[in-house]
Chains A and B, each alone.
Chain A
């Protein structure tokens, strides 16, 4: 069903792209009108499918007498990504950052490119325009793509899922203790990172197998020394998108202090909302917006004079609190979790928390290693361009097979009717 939404998006934005291109040089107003149509259209689709119910509930709550019926439509797959891609295309054409696509097939390929359709990255047309027309499927590309894909797959099914189970186990502890609070935040941080960056790895890998060069989406975000840096390393394609198409058009940094505050809060409220039609995502976005503003106004200067340990410690704590907001379903849950973390209520540790810490001790250490550049350095030093290079296929095969075992065993659950 929802395939039609995508087809319509392709047709509309293809047409608008050509129109913008046609009028750009002699009738800028008309070109702008087409750009606005395209933006309204894409935001309209996204707003309708993703946010209708969210705002309907909000309005119904504010105005008691206005029963807007809820649609309860399920989200078309990848809609947040491809509408953003489509918008980046028409805007870039208007700004002359990209030339318009004159054939519909390559353009349709761009919008519906399957490797990154579901979970990003948001690929901009100008970054792949060259590949669209001159793709080269070479053995080097395929080989690189396979490595990238297998690493992504194992990150997802081994690391992210392990972190996910740990998180779930810890969240079952009632009430949370200080240890459980921090450990679960850490587990969630690893889950989100390994999950999301794994999808990007797989997308980049698959893309490369077919000759596309997607830009990197993650750059070891957890080694950042402040939040400003963190957001240059986390989901890069999204932050770039908001920077280029929202923040800078609003005036960016070169505005008054009040306006800067407005710009940042606006961008980060939207960023939060993009992650999901739920108030906790908006709070999460605003939380980061506020911290980024504080960093920009004064904190960053002071912070950079501190020892690295303090900078990094501050960053991790802010990020972990962010993930608590991100993962919680209610304000109450956020407060309870934070109370446990800062020992406002509850015990220091629980037996169950200690047990999980012990159970996952090596995995947690490995996750720390895997989320820093050390893992890549290790890989390049010993497996790439080195005499041990012959081993690299076997490492890849083992990782692939191991991922399959974890995939299978996820569904492998003895049915315990022989319980008694």
Chain B
């Protein structure tokens, strides 16, 4: 009996090791990992000088890490086993209640915040336009009852207050924290992505209008266009078993014309992107340096939005209120905003950022 078990153990051990090695070496090299959104190291070719200086061995090690068979599955099992041993987060993502995955936000650089706010203040002084600043909270700050018992997030309300205080009083600061918290029983953030969803963006929009003395009561009707969205948090926390979620659009959309790069198309949504992994790019095609939206109505105001991706999903609401909207991402578009405003007769500027992105954003140097 003892011997049989010993043989069985040994055979299993060697089969596992050998089959993992053989399959890893025989399968085709994966160049790109869609789940991680990054390029992988592939097995290097043998070169004598690389063997001698050791770079070959280093490359091989990286390649084994990146090319091992069932890589995604291994990572997924790790994530669930972490939860099983009582961890409340994986890779900086909290395991919230009801499958909510929420990004941890535990530190930020105060100097960067000061700098960014100062840049906005100076920008306001230079330009004769209305400036509003809508700062979208991260999901963990809003969905507090879905967080684990102990968590390590910063005191978000205090951070909002600090920013409000430092901001020039002529700038309209919009803090949607309390109105979003009021609706935390609804679905306002994606469970598996760090963005707010179309419903959450409505409350942001509502708050934005309220601060400008427009009370909006009626929420427009929304319809589901896809329910397979597995977002960035699912990928960060390796929770591939989590269910996909709904991507929504408004039932009645303004007939706008959107222009970016050399593309000119009707409507804010990009249907082709629903086939991609990151379905959030359905809204305004994800990362674009500069999008010009011709809203095709008889409104007079022209809006410039300086933003991160949290703005994309609020545009379906905003297009009804302006003649045109220009959406600029300072990471890719470094032109002078002041000149752009003069040239195009812009009379409203909206800074729209997620708070976690804003406090870390290093692109405010380009705000001129």
The residues of A with any CB-CB pair to B shorter than 8 Å are: 139-140, 142-143, 146-147, 150, 351-352, 354-356, 358-363, 366, 389-390, 392-393, 396-397, 400-402, 404-406, 408-420
Given contacts A359-B87, A363-B86, A392-B5, contact A405 B37 (CB under 8 A): no
Contact present for A408 and B75 (CB under 8 Å): yes
- B contacts with A, residue count (CB < 8 A): 52
A408-B68, A409-B78 given; 7 more Cβ-contact pairs under 8 Å: A142-B10, A351-B152, A352-B152, A356-B152, A400-B16, A408-B78, A419-B357
In the complex, are the beta carbons of A392 and B9 less than 8 A apart?
yes
Q: Decide if A352 touches B65 in the complex (CB within 8 Å).
A: no
Pairwise interchain contact A358-B88, C-beta atoms closer than 8 A: yes
Q: 9 smallest A-B Cβ distances: which pairs? A: A415-B38, A143-B6, A411-B65, A362-B86, A408-B74, A409-B78, A358-B150, A355-B152, A412-B75
- Pair A354/B150 contact, Cβ less than 8 Å: yes
How far is it, in angstroms, between the C-alpha of A410 and the C-alpha of B35 when the chains are bound? 16
In the complex where A359-B87, A363-B86, A418-B232 touch, is A146 in contact with B13 (Cβ < 8 A)?
A: yes
Q: CA–CA, A366 to B74, complex, Å?
A: 23
Q: List 16 A-B contacts (CB under 8 A).
A: A142-B10, A143-B5, A355-B151, A358-B148, A361-B86, A362-B86, A363-B85, A390-B5, A400-B13, A405-B77, A410-B65, A414-B235, A415-B38, A416-B236, A417-B37, A420-B357
**Contact of B207 with A by CB under 8 A:** no
Q: How far is the CA of A406 from the CA of B77 in the complex (A)?
A: 9
Name the B residues within 8 Å of A396 (CB-CB). Answer: 9, 12-13
Contact (A401, B36) CB under 8 Å given A408-B68, A418-B232, A420-B357: no
Which residue in B2, B106, B309, B331 is a CB contact (below 8 Å) of A352?
A: B106
**B residues at A contact (CB < 8 Å):** 1-3, 5-10, 12-13, 16, 20, 35-38, 62, 65-66, 68, 71, 74-75, 77-79, 81, 85-89, 91, 106, 148-152, 232, 235-236, 238, 278, 287, 308-309, 329, 331, 354, 357
Kindly state the separation between the CA atoms of A140 and B2 in the bound complex, as whole angstroms.
9
**Assembly CA distance A363 to B62 (angstroms):** 29
The chain B residue with its CB closest to the CB of A415 is: B38
Q: How far is the CB of A316 from chain B (nearest CB, A)?
A: 23
Given A355-B152, A408-B65, A409-B75, verify A139-B12 contact (CB < 8 Å). no
Measured in the bound complex, the distance between the Cα atoms of B74 and A49 in whole Å is 40
Distance of B55 from chain A, by nearest CB (Å): 14
Cα–Cα, bound, A409→B87 (Å): 15
How far is the CB of B161 from the nearest CB of chain A, in Å? 19
User: In the bound complex, how far is the Cα of B1 from the Cα of A143, in angstroms?
Assistant: 13
In the assembled complex, the CB of A165 is this many whole angstroms from the nearest CB of chain B, namely 10
Q: Do A401 and B16 touch (CB < 8 A)? A: yes
A352–B20 Cα distance when bound, in Å, is 39
Name the A residues within 8 Å of B12 (CB-CB).
393, 396-397
Tell me the bound Cα distance from A413 to B62 in angstroms.
Answer: 13
A-side contacts of B65, CB under 8 Å: 408, 410-411
* A396, B15: Cα distance in complex, Å: 13
Q: Say yes or no: A406-B151 contact (C-beta < 8 A), given A139-B3, A142-B6, A411-B65.
A: no
A286 to B41, CA, bound (A): 46
Nearest to A1 among chain B residues (CB) is: B52
A409-B74 contact, Cβ under 8 Å, with A358-B149, A362-B86: yes
> Across the interface, which residues of A come within 8 angstroms of B85, CB to CB?
362-363, 366
Knowing A359-B88, A409-B74, A417-B37 are in contact, say whether A147-B236 is a contact too (CB < 8 A): no
Chain B residues lying within 8 Å of A146, measured Cβ to Cβ, are 9-10, 13
Query: For the complex, what is the distance from the CA of A389 to the CA of B13, rounded to whole Å?
Result: 17
Q: Could you say which residues of chain B place their CB within 8 Å of the CB of A351? A: 152
CA distance A363 to B13 in the complex (A): 26
Q: Which of A146, A147, A418 has the most CB of B within 10 A?
A: A418
Q: A141 vs B35: C-alpha distance in the bound complex, in angstroms?
A: 42
CB closest residue in chain B, given A419? B357
